[in-house]
């Protein structure tokens, strides 16, 4: 099973939920893998302190032009939608950093002058943190092609029974790439106007992808029912409410997993997992829209 932990807004506690869930489930004997697909800002390693066994460069295919063979017809520049290849005075200029790796130029070249070579955009790392299998992608600074890297991290083969995917925040390309193919999505929110506004957008995205989902309310306060009201109006289940607690924020600030620093938080994540199982098997993505 693959669960993606996502959120419309950043900083709602996505990484906290993902790492704590991985930790408590690994302790129960389940073989868990934590995948950090927030490749622009991977933070899970700061809490899980994994030992990295393997670090592989991740590349996207970009064109390399053989000037001897090139006939200067300009078809490669014409097919490219990303301005990654230009043709002036029958000479071809390439801009690999703009290339999305669609392969159109190599395919369209009548002279067989274009060969695709790998251009590094970051690294994919695998390792282990105590009982948790660990994988993460880390995008090179100044690099824009995060979906390619996310795809490659997401697809690293595994022997784990459960994949917990820490998805990037937001609702655009990177978030969608990380969530795609998950069996269940947990949307982490906080009960504030910003949090709920962004939760609404994230919910729409997950609905569009047609993946079963539930909400985790972080920094919950008993007197604030705005998240409950929102979820009931939007017909989405709340799988957990994690209380607002300055001690959690302080543990987090030091890089400590809240479930280790504050063991009384462990039941929240065990209950969360029980609820996910109930929702994933009971109503697979079919709650009324």
Partner 1 sequence: MKEIIIISGKGGTGKTSLTGAFAALAENPVLADCDVDAADLHLILKPKILETHDFSGGKQARIEPDKCTGCATCEEVCRFGAIRRIPAKDDISPPFFAVDPVACEGCGVCAWFCIPKAVQFEDALNGHWFVSETRFGCLVHAKLGVAEENSGKLVTLVRNRAKQIAKERNCPYLLVDGSPGIGCPVIASLTGADLVVIVTEPTVSGEHDLARVADLAKHFGIPVAVCVNKADINPGMADRIRVNAEARGLSFAGTVPYDKAVTAAQVAQLTIVEHDRGELGKAVRKVWERVTALADGKDTK
Partner 2 sequence: MKIAVTSEGSTLEAAVDPRFGRCKYFIVVDTDTGAFEAVDNVQNLNAAQGAGIQSAETVVNQGAEAVLTGHCGPKAFRTLSTGEVKIYVGVEGTVREAVEAFKAGKLQASENADVEGHW
Residues of this chain that bind partner 2 (CB under 8 A):
77, 82-84, 86-89, 91, 93, 95, 98
Report yes or no: 119 and 96 within 8 Å, Cβ to Cβ: yes
255 binds, among partner 2, partner 1, none (CB under 5 to 8 A by kind): partner 1
Q: Which is nearer to partner 2, 86 or 200 (CB)?
A: 86
Q: Which is nearer to partner 2, 100 or 266 (CB)?
A: 100
Give the residues lining the site for partner 1 (CB under 8 A).
7-12, 15, 40-41, 43, 46-47, 79, 81-82, 100-104, 107-108, 139, 141-146, 168-176, 180, 190, 192-194, 197-198, 201, 204-205, 207-209, 246, 249-250, 252-255
Report yes or no: 101 and 62 within 8 Å, Cβ to Cβ: yes
Q: Angle at the Cα of 249 (from 245 to 253), degrees rounded to 5? A: 165
Q: Angle at the Cα of 158 (from 139 to 182), degrees rounded to 5? A: 70
Min dist CB 151 to partner 1, Å, is 9
Min dist CB 146 to partner 2, Å, is 15
142 binds, among partner 1, partner 2, none (CB under 5 to 8 A by kind): partner 1
Rounded distance between C-alpha atoms, residue 95 and residue 209, angstroms = 33
Q: Which is nearer to partner 1, 10 or 267 (CB)?
A: 10
Considering only CA atoms, give the Rg of the chain. 22
1 binds, among partner 2, partner 1, none (CB under 5 to 8 A by kind): none
Nearest to 201 by CA among 162, 237, 165, 175: 175
Helix (H, G, I), strand (E, B) or coil at 25: helix
* Token digits of residue 162: 């459960």
86 binds, among partner 2, partner 1, none (CB under 5 to 8 A by kind): partner 2
Q: Which is nearer to partner 2, 72 or 282 (CB)?
A: 72
Min dist CB 92 to partner 2, Å, is 8
Other Cβ atoms closer than 10 A to 154: 23
93 binds, among partner 2, partner 1, none (CB under 5 to 8 A by kind): partner 2
Min dist CB 255 to partner 1, Å, is 4
Other Cβ atoms closer than 10 A to 157: 6
Which bin fits 94, alpha (ψ -120 to 50), beta or left (φ > 0)?
beta
């Amino acid at each position: 099973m693959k669960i993606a932990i996502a959120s419309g807004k950043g900083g709602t506690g996505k990484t906290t939920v993902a790492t704590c869930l991985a930790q408590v489930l690994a302790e129960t004997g389940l073989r868990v893998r934590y995948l950090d697909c927030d490749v622009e800002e991977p933070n899970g390693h700061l809490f899980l302190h994994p030992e990295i066994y393997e670090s592989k460069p991740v590349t996207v295919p970009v064109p390399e032009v053989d000037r001897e063979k090139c006939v200067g017809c300009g078809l490669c520049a014409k097919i490219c939608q990303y301005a990654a290849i230009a043709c002036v005075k029958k000479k071809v200029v390439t801009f690999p950093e703009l290339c999305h790796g669609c392969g159109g130029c190599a395919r369209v070249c009548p002279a067989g002058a274009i060969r695709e070579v790998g251009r590094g955009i970051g690294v994919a790392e695998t390792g282990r943190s105590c009982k948790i299998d660990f994988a993460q992608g880390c995008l090179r600074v100044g690099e824009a092609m995060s979906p390619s890297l996310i795809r490659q991290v997401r697809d690293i083969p595994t022997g784990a029974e459960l994949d917990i995917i820490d998805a990037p925040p937001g609702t655009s390309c990177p978030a969608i790439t990380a969530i795609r193919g998950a069996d269940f999505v947990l949307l982490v929110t906080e009960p504030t106007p910003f949090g709920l506004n962004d939760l609404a957008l994230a919910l729409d995205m997950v609905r569009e992808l047609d993946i079963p989902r539930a909400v985790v309310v972080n920094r919950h306060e008993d007197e604030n029912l705005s998240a409950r009201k929102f979820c009931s109006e939007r017909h989405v289940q709340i799988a957990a409410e994690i209380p607002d607690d300055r001690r959690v924020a302080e543990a987090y600030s030091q890089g400590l997993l809240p479930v280790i620093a504050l063991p009384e938080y462990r039941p929240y994540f065990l209950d969360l997992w029980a609820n996910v199982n109930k929702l994933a098997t009971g109503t697979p993505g079919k709650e009324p829209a």
